[in-house]
Structure 1
Amino acid sequence: MEINWSWQQFSDISGEEMHAMLALRQDVFVVEQRCLYLDPDQLDKQSWHLFGRTKDQKLVAYARLNFPNTRYPEPSFGRVLTSKAIRGMGAGKKIVEACIQKSLQEYPNSDVRISAQAHLTKFYAEFGFTKIGDPYDDHGIEHIGMILRVSKPMGD
């Protein structure tokens, strides 16, 4: 299945796109994962949003890249998801690659931090992320902090 990828800032998202984004996030995080929490938050306004759409413009994949000094000092990405219809087709890897690439483009030489669901640590490790800190509960799902070190230490 061909997916067309595009980045938008909050102020550029139309009402129709916002509705599709929030509906898909609710489908995956609240309904499928049974995680009761308020999904829309202030970070939506301080993020780049990655939309993955089919040829007929149906939203099937999504992530957001938070600006530095919003959730963490580093840029971070989250709300990574794919619809049931495309799982197992490699879209998750494309999302992570796109988030890393966008972060490096917008915030050169800045590390990238994520809050990963603990069962996905091996998946994120494939991209160079390493665990930081201890696992913690985030609305009933075990998470762990992870970081992709891209900045160079002073003196190198």
Structure 2
Amino acid sequence: MTLTWTTKPFAELTLAELYALLQLRSEVFVVEQTCAFQDIDGQDQGAWHLLGYTPEGELAAYARLFGPGICYPEASIGRVVVSPRFRRYGLGRELLRQAIAAVEALDGAQPIQIGAQSYLQAFYEDFGFRQVGEGYLEDNIPHIHMVRSASQA
């Protein structure tokens, strides 16, 4: 499945785009993962939003991107999510490739830090991310910090 990708700052999101991305994040991070947490955390306004749309115009994949010094000293990628309806197409890998490319297009090649759910460690390692520090619980879900060096590009 081929998606159409767009990257926008918060101020340029349409109401329909904002609704769709918040709905997708809620569907996966709150409902599917049975995790009551404050998804709308006040950071969306400072982020770039990567949206992947199906040919029919449905939001299938999303990630939130930050420049260095906002969430971590490094640039960062978060809220990485593929709609359950589209998971069988390998879109998670394409989403991460697009997210890394978008961060580099916005801020140049540089280290990228993520806070990853621990069970996805091997997935992120395939893209050059390496665990830094100890694991931690975030909203009762095991996480690890991972960094991808600029030389991985």
Bucket of the pairwise TM-score, normalised by the shorter protein: over 0.9
Structure 1 residues without counterparts, runs of 5 or longer: 152-156
2:145 alignment counterpart: 145
Q: CA offsets per residue over residues 87-128 of structure 1, 9 Å max, x none? A: 131110011111111112222242100001000000000011
Q: Using the alignment, how far apart are the partners of 2:68 and 2:38 within structure 1?
A: 22
What TM-score, normalized by structure 2, do the two folds share? 0.95
Q: Could you say which structure has the larger radius of gyration?
A: 1
2:134 alignment counterpart: 134
One-letter amino acid of the counterpart of residue 62, structure 2: Y
2:93 alignment counterpart: 93
Q: Secondary structure at the match of 2:110?
A: coil
2:78 alignment counterpart: 78
One-letter amino acid of the counterpart of residue 145, structure 1: H
Q: Secondary structure at the match of 1:42?
A: coil
Contact 1:43–1:66 under 8 Å retained in 2: no
1:24 alignment counterpart: 24
Q: Using the alignment, how far apart are the partners of 2:17 and 2:38 within structure 1?
A: 19
Moved over 2 A (4+): none
One-letter amino acid of the counterpart of residue 5, structure 2: W
What TM-score, normalized by structure 1, do the two folds share? 0.93
Q: Secondary structure at the match of 2:131?
A: strand
Q: Secondary structure at the match of 1:87?
A: helix
Q: Using the alignment, how far apart are the partners of 1:2 and 1:81 within structure 2?
A: 16
2:35 alignment counterpart: 35
2:106 alignment counterpart: 106
Q: Using the alignment, how far apart are the partners of 1:16 and 1:62 within structure 2?
A: 14
Give yes or no for the alignment of 1:8 onto 2:18.
Answer: no
Structure 2 residues without counterparts, runs of 5 or longer: none
Give aligned-pair identity as a percent. Answer: 38
2:44 alignment counterpart: 44
